[in-house]
Amino acid sequence: MNGTDREYWDDWQRSWDRQQEWYLPDREERFRVMLDTVEAHAGPAPRVLDLACGTGSISERLLARLPGAVSVGVDLDPALLAIAEGHFAAEPRLTLVTADLRDGAWAGRLPPGPYDAVVTATALHWLPAADLVRLYGDLAALLSPGGVFLNADHTPEPATPLLNAADEAFQQRRQQRERAAGALDWSRWWAAAAADPLLGDLVAERREIFGGHRDPEPRPAAWHTARLVDAGFREAGVVWRSVADSMVAAVR
């Protein structure tokens, strides 16, 4: 295989999706709700910012569902962006941008706005609170009036410890069964990527960028909705949730 082989990159993109589904068995359902909300607010031809886009999973579903849409995908991870670049090489409706959301000047790397929608999933819990609050203000400035921001992420509720514990135990049993059947978790997927002749150097580069593993900082949905209103959104609320995860939406 070589770096211009579409099937090669498609295989890696599908592999990423399967690895993420091991953690999030309802991943496609949350994407459906996300795109329902984008279309409801922005119509059939939105200009969308795919934040922390990874391999482009959301943009792929957006462009398949709404042929009139265009998307700008933003990420810092060189390995995931390489997969996205290969997978979407023939797709003119997607522009990929390398930017660090922790950098207050990150938005300067984007094509000029405004945007009709900003979407993101299972990514922003890695940001410290101060960076996330600042980012929410950045997004309010990037969206057109009436535009919508959607964040699907891990948002455990501290007030429901019994529900949380039962769901965690259930999910662990499911994951054990699927791992025994060959499913890759996060560490095994990245080990496979590190061993790949085209991705290995990029995986080493991402380790230099992000450093060692650190625990994420999940926050309840109410924390996000309050900060989004403080950042200048007219309203914010939850449009989907499971026991441990939710999707927060905010209207500019």
3-state class of 150 per DSSP?
strand
Domains annotated for the chain, with CATH where assigned, are 6-251 (3.40.50.150)
Pairwise CA distance, residues 9 & 31, whole Å: 22
- In this predicted structure, what is the pLDDT of residue 211? 82
Condensed to tens digits (0 to 9), the pLDDT of residues 51-84 reads 999 999 999 999 999 999 999 999 999 999 999 9
Pairwise CA distance, residues 92 & 213, whole Å: 35
The structure's pTM equals: 0.94
Condensed to tens digits (0 to 9), the pLDDT of residues 175-233 reads 999 999 999 999 999 999 999 999 999 999 999 999 865 667 789 999 999 999 999 99
3-state class of 184 per DSSP?
coil
- In this predicted structure, what is the pLDDT of residue 4? 63
